[in-house]
Every structure is written in structure tokens, then in C-alpha cells.
Amino acid sequence: MSVNYAAGLSPYADKGKCGLPEICDQPDELERKIHELASLIRDSSYVVFHTGAGISTASGIPDFRGPNGVWTMEERGLAPRFDTTFENAQPSKTHMALLELQRKGILRFLVSQNVDGLHVRSGFPRDKLAELHGNMFVEECIKCGKYYIRDTVVGTMGLKATGRLCDASKCRGLRSCRGRLMDTILDWEDSLPDRDLNLASEACRKADLSVTLGTSLQIKPSGDLPLLTKKKGGKLVIVNLQPTKHDKQADLRIHGYVDEVMTKLMKHLGLEIPEWTGPHVVEESTEIPESKPLAKPSTDFKFLSKEEPLSYCNGTEQGPKPTRQEHGASLKHESFPPDSNPIAAKRTKTEPLPT
């Protein structure tokens, strides 16, 4: 997501198609399509959103394959522009709109390829979020599985040791775990985390509508997950300025800036985008009982077509099945009274790095 993140990855030849021309719908056409998207959302019982680097460009973080993206500039022998740091970047209107949609019970699950941590820092509940490629602010104990969400980036990437030890207390007040902590950022050939991939796959199969925002859908398996919704009889909406890998599969294709699209969408839905008041972490959300049934189940389908076999690794090549075990978070929570939204949540503060 940032220049430093890109520089920390291993060399990789196939970064996909970069620098494709951007397309902008005319104002009247854009308005018509957003109105159609709002209607699709109202008619759906289980909506899943998928986000890519394009939703964070408004926050000052460059994307990868856009006209000024990290990989695009690299192909031209130029240095990409980076207007902020991970710590100083603030959630965009799109981040905050997604949070409000979740609070209202409209967005049922969020699948993100982003590592900038802006979804978590916006207050989006972690139990409704799959961060398929990791989070620059998160490190995890390889011994007990405890997650630590820091207020600064953890300093390593590629699932490497960060140099810190776990301070989780063992049962009966015995000494702390002291297992080694590692970052959660995937390199190109690393397997996706089981927890996030399984949750994302399950949500996409349940969904009767998947909406992708700011992603070219080129990286497997993340970019192929929206097809699970299509294979189960649901609909797919793609919002992106550039062409994407799955445009032909889309029921609706919107060419526009995601912040503009989401701002207009929220107006159509009669919702306001909340202001960001600073980073805080929400671990769990408790939803109100469903008022509408889930999408009707249909004949089971394989994950992908025969032409596109499932890849579990973070790249464009097929890889082995992931081997990382699923770990549950064991963070301390502080509860807060629910506001007017129908979603109550538990939240915890970000932790400073130990000195």
C-alpha cells in the first residue's frame, strides 16, 4: 500500500497489468448507476463488500496499478508519490461509509486486500472483517496466538519475527507466555491466513450481492472471491476507474472515484457518513436478529472454474494449500453503550510498541 511496504516485498516478476487507462462515467450515467446500486442493496439480504488499494488513495496512500501506482511507476523507472505515513493516514469517506453500513446492518461482511490498517483504525469490527494480506499495525504470538494491535507499524513484513515477546499471562497467574511475536504481512508467495480466508469464503457464498471497491481483482485468490457470490446465484457490482479482471461477470459496472460513489450512495440510502474521531479498535459487533432470510441456497459449486483453479497464495500463480493455523484473538475489551445504531460493539484501544 505504501512505498515502504512495496519495497519490503520480495522481487516478483508478474505484478499484473499496470497503468491501464481510467474511465469515468458521465455525471448522468454515474447517477443512474448509483441509483441502481442503491436498489440492489435494498433488495439484498446479505451484502459483502470487497476493498482494494483504490479506496485509500484519498487518504494519501498510493495504489499499485493505477496511472501513478507503485508498480506502474516502478515499470517506468520512476519513484511513486507518497503523501503521508501509515500512522498519519486517516480513513477516507469510503472507509467511514462502510462502517456506517455495517452499523446499520446493511453490510454483513467486509473483505479487504489492504494492509494499511485503515478499516480497523476506522472502528470497523474485526469479527466482520477479513484482512487477507495482513495489517501493518498487527503482530501475533506464534506460541499462544494472541494478537497485538499497535498504534504504529510493527516494523517487519513477510511473517517475520518483530523482536518482541508476548506478555499474555498463563492460567492461574503463572508467568507470561513470552512467545515470539511476528508481523502479519504476507509476501508474494505466502499462504493466506486460514481464519480470514475461511470467513471471507463463507461470507461470499452466503451473499446475494458482492460489491468491489477500488480493486482490479488481479491477485488470486483475493480477487476471485466475488465470483463465489455469482456462482451461488447472487449479483456482482464492480466500482473501479480501470478495467478489472472480472468485468464480464459484473451485473453492474461503475466507473467512478470510490469516495464520490459512496457519498452519493449513502444519500440514496438516506444515511450520513460519520466523522472519524481518531483510531480505536472494535473487536466484536452484535447484530440485531435478521429481518430478512439469507440468499436461497443453490447447488454447490466449486470455488472457481476449471480454467481458474484456486490459489491459496498471495500472487498470480497457483500455490499449495495454506498451512497457517487459525488463531483466535485474545485482546482485552472495554465495552461502551450502543448509540442509535442497531449494532453494539466491544472495542479496545491500540497499544503502543513496548520500549
Q: Output the CA–CA distances (angstroms, integers) from residue 57 to 17, 25, 69, 91, 118, in the order listed.
A: 19, 19, 10, 10, 12
DSSP state of 126: G
Distance between CA atoms of residues 58 and 169, nearest Å: 41
Contact by Cβ (8 Å): 252, 36: yes
Alpha helices in 50-193 (DSSP H): 70-75, 93-103, 118-121
Cα distance between residue 238 and residue 210, in whole Å: 8
Whether the upstream peptide bond of residue 221 has omega within 30° of 0, thus cis, is: yes
- Which residue among 133, 246, 280, 333 is the active-site one? 133
**What is the spatial distance between Cα 338 and Cα 345, in angstroms, rounded to a whole number?**
7
Residue located via cell numbers 472495542: 347
50 a catalytic residue: no
Contact 131, 114 (CB under 8 A): yes
Contact at 8 Å (CB) between 338 and 344? yes
**Contact status, residue 5 vs residue 115, Cβ threshold 8 Å:** yes
**CA separation for the pair 1, 342 (Å, rounded):** 33
- Under 8 Å between Cβ of 47 and 102: no
Measured in degrees and rounded to the nearest 5, phi and psi for residue 143 equal: -95, -50
Question: CB atoms < 10 A from the CB of 212, how many?
Answer: 27
The answer to whether 216 and 232 have CB atoms below 8 angstroms apart is no
Residues forming beta bridges with residue 253, ordered by sequence position: 238
| Residues annotated as catalytic (active site), given as ranges | 133
